[in-house]
Amino acid sequence: MESRVGIVLVSHSDRLAGGLRDLLAQLGSGAAPVAVAGGTDDGGIGTSHDLIRAAIAEADQGAGVVVLPDIGSAVLTARLVLEDEPRADVVVVDAPFVEGAVAAVATANGGAALEAVVAAAREARTIPKFPS
């Protein structure tokens, strides 16, 4: 079985991250692993270093991992995880949470390399939702 780039969804809300994972499963073939790190360790609203680290391990099939945070401290916490455990094959991407995740998963499902999945997530920022 060919390994795929994994995707980690980091949100302040477990329900938001889980809902996005459910949406991604409906849109794609499910070949790329998608893991979530939503909320705090005790189930509250916020972010968790330990949950992000565990989600990265869960999504990692050996082809790299794209980490997509929603806002604010999710970005900070994801970056701190990678400062504590630096890895060249794990990238925190500045992209819209939903659109970036859709683009990343679609690209990863096709077997693309880490750099292409990162680029697809970032590019989602520039694609309009409807024509002007």
Amino acid (1-letter code) at residue 54: A
Residues in a beta bridge with 116:
none
Place of tokens 């079985």: 1
Up-side HSE of residue 90: CA atoms within 13 Å toward CB? 22
- Report the candidate in 46, 49, 98, 37 with the shortest Cα–Cα distance to residue 72: 46
Catalytic status, residue 12: yes
Query: Residue 98: how many CB atoms within 10 A of its CB?
Result: 17
Please pick, among 12, 32, 33, 34, the residue that the annotation labels catalytic.
12
Catalytic (active-site) positions = 12
